A and B are shown apart, each in its own frame.
Chain A
Amino acid sequence: MEVKTGTWTEKKGLAQMLKGGVIMDVVTPEHAKIAEDAGACAVMALERVPADIRAQGGVARMSDPELILKIMDSVSIPVMAKCRIGHFVEAQILEALGVDYIDESEVLTPADEAHHILKHNFKVPFVCGCRNLGEALRRIGEGAAMIRTKGEAGTGDVVEAVRHARSVIGEIRRLTTMADEELMSYAKEIGAPYELVKETKELGRLPVVNFAAGGVATPADAALMMQLGVDGVFVGSGIFKSGDPAKRAAAIVKAVTHYRDASILAEVSRNLGEPMVGRTVATMPEAERLAGRGW
């Protein structure tokens, strides 16, 4: 029998298995165990959470492969890792390590200011950030098998994740009411491949799984994003920069499953200890914002 690996169905399919779940940023194997025990459906292995990348500054690059391998050895759930935008050699290295998903991420310092990685060239699937429908479809056009909102990573302020999710989902809602002859000029207007615009209209949703990311810090934030219509949630700094990571992680997992049940949300939100301190995005200088990275 013929056996095929690295197909589009396989790449997209793993993201479908993550739906309704929480993907957590971890910087040590111990964090990864805490995340798995709390019910995370995957972890993102990295050296510094976005809040620390912000605080420490400097060039943010792919993490040390040694750390990524140690985290892969410590848990049974899928492990993701980040490479810089456009840095296809970092992506080749992550693929060689055997990570389950690569995040071509604006949280790291971009390596290319005009181009993203041609992700169709890889067997390993990629997730990419977006702020609107055009950006999401450009990334899918390059081969991203999963999309997430960018939000504003490392702030604990959910406002940008909400803005980006509302933008993508609202634009899809308008797209579904357009006449077929309007699609070509709409594709031109938003800078997206025509075929993907057409497919999105037919499906009434993005052709791949769409998670929220960038600023989720509480169970209520996570449920808010789910009610807005995303398929699952990434939590970066929000867990391990809080007072009681294990408890907060488990609460956010429950909130994503029971996102419409306000009495369960009230129950899981009780006594979680200190949330991450956070930074208000509205008063943040433009130069410090990460979401503008990506083309």
Chain B
Amino acid sequence: MKIGVLALQGDFAEHIAMLKRLKVETAEVRLPEHLDGLDGLIIPGGESTTIGKLAVAYNLMEPLKLFGQRHAIWGTCAGAIFISKDVGRDQPLLSLMDIKVRRNAFGRQVDSFETDLDIPELKQATGTDAPYHAVFIRAPIIESVSGDAKVLASISDGRIVAAQQGHLLATSFHPELTNDTRFHEYFLSLAD
């Protein structure tokens, strides 16, 4: 299996390091031709406006949309914004997932936080019972899911922080900043 990581801007190297720990072949994606031969794609954390502008400038929007119709894509934080349908402001979006996202929903950096999440699908898929420790950085929330999209995880006040739609995944937190590989393993099961 070969998984690409969109390497326009952001913490793509951290995702690649996680995938390497799981013995997966990886590729950095900066241009449309870099998508050839991939079984799945991760869109990393970063600034969604920067990633969107570079994707438009290098003609990646249509190839990424087509890729997502056939292959697994997982967006973390900025990636979750980029893969969504609606972010309430004008910026380039792939509109692949039926989710409405709000940027910087928890405030500024001093409000960024870590907390444990209970994610039944993750426990089931990886056969472990430990809670999932999630790192949120200037994080977005998923305001609503519609169509085929379903909620995967919420924080204690009920706000949605992870969603899945078939082989598409969005998380407002950063599994690549932890030592816990379970979310990456879960994504690989969708890409397989």
Contacts and interface: CB of A to CB of B under 8 A. Distances in A.
Interface string A1-42: 111111101100110111111000000000000001111111
Contact size range, B: 35 or more
Nearest to B117: A1
A21 B9 contact: yes
A16 B109 contact: no
Contacts of A18: 46-47
Contacts of A77: 47, 49-50
B113 A95 contact: no
A99 to B, nearest CB: 8
Contacts of A254: 54, 57
Nearest to B14: A16
Interface centre among B8, B13, B103 (most CB of A within 10 A): B8
Greatest chain B CB density within 10 A among A5, A98, A100 is at A5
B77 interface: yes
A17 B11 contact: yes
Given A2-B115, A13-B135, A39 B108 contact: no
A17 B77 contact: yes
Interface in A66-116: 72, 76-78, 95, 98-101
A16 B9 CA distance: 10
B156 to A, nearest CB: 5
B77 A20 contact: no
Contacts of B53: 37-39, 250, 253
B109 A19 contact: no
B46 to A, nearest CB: 5
B115 A13 contact: no
Q: Determine which residue in A10, A14, A124 has the highest number of CB atoms from chain B within 10 A of its CB, and name it.
A: A10
A43 B163 CA distance: 31
Considering the complex of A and B, which 3 residue pairs feature the smallest CB-CB distances, nearest first? Answer: A100-B109, A39-B53, A41-B47
9 contacts: A1-B115, A13-B137, A17-B10, A39-B9, A39-B50, A39-B54, A40-B50, A77-B49, A261-B30
Interface of A: 1-7, 9-10, 13-14, 16-21, 36-42, 72, 76-78, 95, 98-101, 123-125, 250, 253-254, 256-258, 261
Given A2-B115, A257-B9, 8 more contacts: A3-B114, A5-B110, A5-B113, A13-B135, A14-B112, A16-B11, A17-B78, A98-B108
Interface of B: 7-14, 30, 45-47, 49-50, 53-54, 57, 77-78, 89, 103-104, 107-117, 135, 137-138, 155-156, 174, 177
